[in-house]
């Protein structure tokens, strides 16, 4: 296992747990922008770990839960629904 794969395997879940406890920026959204994670070419192990983590967040419902917690009904942004899904097979 290469260093990048090991780093992702240990730090991606830890970072996700850390961010889950943080509040988003206050105020109304000023726009939308696709997000991306840059990986060095050939980092197949790292990409596999990131893709699997994103698939698990989507399939378990955790991505929906996090969206609703920070941006859904009753929050400052008060978005009625999440208008996107994570599709790692299209990356």
How many domains would you assign to the chain? 1
**pLDDT at 78 exceeding the cut of 80:** yes
Parent domain of 75: 40-80
**pLDDT at 65 exceeding the cut of 90:** yes
Query: Does 67 fall in a domain?
Result: yes
Query: Does 71 fall in a domain?
Result: yes
Report yes or no on whether pTM surpasses 0.75. Answer: no
Which pLDDT band, with edges at 50, 70 and 90, does 36 fall under?
A: confident
**Long-range contacts of range 60-69, CB-CB < 8 Å, 24 or more positions apart?**
66/20, 69/20
Query: Does 9 fall in a domain?
Result: no
Query: Does 17 fall in a domain?
Result: no
**Contact, 33 vs 26, CB < 8 A?**
no
Burial 66-91 (b: 16+ CB within 10 A, else e): bbbebbbeeeeeeeeeeeeeeeeeee
**pLDDT at 1 exceeding the cut of 60:** no
Looking at residue 68, its pLDDT comes to 92
Measured distance CA(17)–CA(28) in Å, rounded: 25
Query: Does 21 fall in a domain?
Result: no
Query: Does 59 fall in a domain?
Result: yes
């Amino acid at each position: 296992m290469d260093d990048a794969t090991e780093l992702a395997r240990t730090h991606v879940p830890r970072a996700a747990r850390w961010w889950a406890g943080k509040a988003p920026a206050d105020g109304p959204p000023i726009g939308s922008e696709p997000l991306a994670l840059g990986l060095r070419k050939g980092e197949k192990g790292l990409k596999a770990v990131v893709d699997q983590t994103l698939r698990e967040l989507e399939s378990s419902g955790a991505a929906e839960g996090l969206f609703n917690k920070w941006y859904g009904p009753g929050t400052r942004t008060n978005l009625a629904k999440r208008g996107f899904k994570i599709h790692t097979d299209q990356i």
